[in-house]
Amino acid sequence: MKRSMKMTKHLNKRNAAVLWSMTAVLMVVIFYFSSLEDTELAGGFLSFIFEFFSNECPIPILSLFIDKLFHAGIYGLLGLLFYLSLRESGIYRHLFLLSVVLAVGYGVTDEFHQSFVPGRFASAGDLLADLAGALIGGLAAGILVSVRNRRSV
């Protein structure tokens, strides 16, 4: 049974709204954690994770890169969400590049924002991890879409 063109457009608008909402929520979460002072980050879940990887991690080299892995993971998800949100909004040209530029652009603003938070600072290393994550997230989204399209044919 084929969907009508009107129904498909309605679904695309609803899907786009959901994806853009998810993207915005992730951006707010990133902003929130960037707003926390170093001393505020010392308590809670993030502290537990950092302490585990610093002291008890079975793979010692990971303890050196845990912060960068967090950045790459979060910005990978952001790149993936930008890709899917843009695509569902009807943007198909330069989709991978746009999603990476938007995610890294947000990373730049996030690092700038951190430079004003006591106990925090802007870091080129964090920005490089954001870029790596955004590239991986955009690539993963492209692969997911490609696989989904092949299955629906």
Helical segments of the chain, H only: 5-35, 38-41, 45-51, 62-88, 95-114, 124-152
Which residues fall within 8 angstroms of residue 143, CB to CB, at 6 or more apart? none
Rounded Cα gap, residues 7 and 13, in angstroms: 10
CB-CB contact of 23 with 29 (8 Å): no
CB-CB contact of 96 with 135 (8 Å): no
Residues of the chain with pLDDT > 90: what percent?
59
State the pLDDT confidence band at 119, using cuts at 50, 70 and 90: confident
Q: Which helix (H) or strand (E) holds 56?
A: none
State the pLDDT confidence band at 7, using cuts at 50, 70 and 90: very low
Rounded Cα gap, residues 17 and 19, in angstroms: 6
pLDDT in tens, 89-112: 999 999 999 999 999 999 999 999
Rounded Cα gap, residues 69 and 63, in angstroms: 10
Dump the DSSP string for 113-147: HHTTSTT----HHHHHHHHHHHHHHHHHHHHHHHH
State the pTM of this model: 0.82
Q: What is the pLDDT of residue 75?
A: 98
Q: What is the pLDDT of residue 60?
A: 60
Structure tokens at 93: 């040209």
Average pLDDT over residues 54-65: 63
Q: What is the pLDDT of residue 13?
A: 86
Q: Which of 6-10, 41-45, 52-56 has the highest mean pLDDT?
A: 52-56
Q: What is the pLDDT of residue 1?
A: 43
